[in-house]
Structure 1
Amino acid sequence: MQFKQLEAFAKVTELRSFSRAAEELYLTQPTVSAHVKALEEEIGCQLVSRSTRSLSLTEEGNTLYPYVRRILDLKNTALQKLRQEQRQILRIGASTIPSGYILPRLLKEYRKLHPDIYFNVVQGNSGTIEEMIGDNTLDIGFVGMDSTEKNILSYPFCEDSLLYVAPATEYYRRLFDRSPSLQELLQEPLILREANSGTLHALDSYLLEQHVDMSKLNIIGNVNDLEAIKQMILNQTGVSILSGFSVSDLLARGQLLAYPLHTPHPRRFYIIQKKDKSLSPTEESFLGFSRSFYTL
């Protein structure tokens, strides 16, 4: 008894047609008929009742079909499981900006070289991803701030800019046209990212360099969803300080306005891994590719 015989019998049973079964299996009709006939001969009874007008199963055929279906389903499940185990798996963590604006292009180019790779990407803020790297839940992380943990290795790999982002209204066009001071900008109603986000960490560092006390800002809320913040700006709820990557499309379409914050150092994104963890050849390959993908 061969799988091809069982597959032919099951498909003929399900479609009630030799010709349609042949199309589904990419075989000729005589080949499908021969497979069913061989199965009948091996079992020693007729399974399919053939006539010029219709096709039906014999009593023996009806008895056999559920067992054949289970055998074929079990075979397909086993093959799928084996294929998954043979695939090279990357467990990647990424904070908001890398997951939405950096990883998609990076993974696309990496898979051109390694088409069999399977990746599992977890999104969280930079602090969460660092914790998951530390407890071995993830292998490689892409985050928006450098790590200070002794058990984490951190590599800068990509640069971005911080932008003061506002609704595309006449008020903000006039404000930006007269080159306002930082203190004036920060009195506008600000919606900021949540604690432990790389963007908020970068803003903290910038304000410290500018000798600006965070408590003096007109902060009206903290939101842990970047898309929600952008929608709030579009709806004129307030302004924010965001990654240039995250608003480039809306700026290009003229839906938002941006004023550059002149930082002495560009904002950087980092690749992190656990210090004492031995990476697999696949992980080493992806890490090397990622570090060289962008030029600092």
Structure 2
Amino acid sequence: MQDWWQATFPQGRQTVEITDANGYQVSIAYGEKGQGQPLILIHGIASWGYSWRHCIHPLSQYFRVICFDAKGYGFSEKVNYPEKAGHQVIELERIIRALCDRPAIIVAESLGALIALAVVQAHPELCERLIIMNVPVFPTQLPSQGMRLLSLIPIQLIQLVDFLRLTYLFAPLIRAIAQYERQDVLSDDIKSAPDEIYWLTYPYIEFPGAIAKLTEEMQLSAREIEKLLQNQPNHISDIQAQLGNIKCPTLILWSDGDRWFPSSDGEKLRDRLPNSQLQILENCGHSASSSCPEAVNTAILGFLSN
């Protein structure tokens, strides 16, 4: 099967080195296409740059589109030391500084959008305009049964699965589970094609450490949500408290068919962001970039043309 990076980006897959939240040098995979103002695409949890496959070419007609894999995801480095809550915020800021030569347009989805909010709060100089989709900013639990199950499995067991490379043996099962779970984030009339499932699951089957790092992220997220609900110090409530500090023009896109987070969360978020507007995406699932990419691209370009 043709390499997705080579087929999508003129220079294929590139890498950039950053210092991560633990102080170590790590390699981040990215691709870029187009010229002009940088527009950086930020994926959500259990995903990687491939999730933006339908948006890269249309947006690259007008902008320098940069699509990367967060540390631990996709083709980026999987480290073998524990992460700490909030590491993604530190690392996203450093990725933006490394790849963007001027204030960027930030387009982010799901958990990536929550992380983007935190970065823009702390470093407003990095962002000229912000576009966020289906943001888990007012969560009550991990949104899917699969996520909740994964968050409860001892990390040592998942690390053993990775070490023994059992993902190769269970590749058909992993793809079948991904196909089932994937439907939860798509609109009802969309089915994932075999090549989509192949690429979505590719890192978890091929790269040691990928499933362990995903499990670790699920467990970190579950703990942060638990602290939020118990009114203990946590990163989510910190982001909520500082929403009013985001001054850049912001477009909030929310899917009417999002099974994970209700559109009322989008309304609440709009009311707390001073310079924001909310647009509802019709007949669209949580993963808007896959469920209704044409509507997403049209909304983004319309917002950026004003």
TM-score by length of 2: 0.28
- Between 1 and 2, higher relative CO (CA 8 Å, sep ≥ 6) is seen in 1
Instruction: Mark the structure with the bigger radius of gyration.
Output: 1
TM-score by length of 1: 0.28
